Amino acid sequence: MDRIRILVVDDHPLFRQGLRDVLRNEPDIEVVGEGADGQEALALTHELKPDALILDINLPELNGLQVTRQLRAERVTAAVVMLTAYDDIEQVLHAFRAGGSAYCPKDVHPSKLVEVLRQVVQGHYVLGDQVFDREGLQTWLDRSLEKAGRPYLDDAREAFSPLSPREMEILQFVTRGLSNKEIALSLGISHQTVKNHMTAILHKLDVEDRTQAAVYALRRGWVRLQN
């Protein structure tokens, strides 16, 4: 029987070691590589072609949501199990909307994580004790988006769409305290373009201003105060 090939990506070496220790005891699972940031995650996925990634959302360079979205844009079929220290329904929606196959808190029981890996490589989607097929996941997402939407939002699906690479880049500058004008100069784009991106960011995150946007992203590990 072919073993399930796993790529582990987390910027904490001790945590990666713990995952390796757990998975090496499983006869049907093999850790084929490990990385410490989002860029490594992309490069190693293309090089090693794993069946699944265990991917921390809070990563340097590119966060886990960005990595997953990029892999899906490139039509990479490897399943993505997202791990996070910040567990809430909005984070779950962002994770699955980006293309994740499963969502687990970082304190997930080792035996549970192993079972999740076995489920996602069969094409299933896992959230807690719930296992979905593609249609079931879409039904769950539709219901959850409807509940999470605000009365003043035109489309809850749009509100929980993943941020684009440029939007994430601008959000990183916002967390450093740069003004729109300073961001425009740093990126070589117009002031109006930055304003347009900020409007989209506020809508997608369902927040009222740039400070709330920065707090939202920092709490969930999408950006870091220092790289």
16-40 tens-digit pLDDT = 999 999 999 899 999 999 999 999 9
CATH fold of the domain at 4-143: Rossmann fold (3.40.50)
E strand or H helix at 35, and its extent?
A: strand 29-35
Q: What are the domain boundaries of the chain? A: 4-143, 163-219
* Contact (Cβ atoms closer than 8 angstroms) between residue 140 and residue 147: no
DSSP string, 94-119: HHHHHT-SEEEETT--HHHHHHHHHH
For the stretch 137-192, pLDDT in tens is 999 988 887 776 654 445 555 556 678 889 988 998 999 889 999 999 999 999 99
| Predicted local distance difference test score (pLDDT) of residue 53 | 98
Rg (CA), the chain: 18
CATH of 163-219, one of 1.10.10.10, 1.10.150.20, 3.90.1150.10, 3.20.20.80: 1.10.10.10
- Asked if pLDDT for residue 94 goes beyond 80, the answer is yes
Tally of CB atoms within 10 A around 219: 12
User: Going by DSSP bridges, is the β-strand pair 130-132/125-127 parallel, antiparallel, or unpaired?
Assistant: antiparallel
What pLDDT does 153 receive? 46
For 101-105, which contacts have Cβ atoms below 8 Å and span 24 or more sequence positions?
101/52, 101/125, 101/126, 102/126, 102/127, 103/127
Strand, coil or helix: 83: strand
Topology alike, domains 4-143 and 163-219: no
Query: Do residues 168 and 63 lie in contact, with contact meaning Cβ atoms separated by under 8 Å?
Result: yes
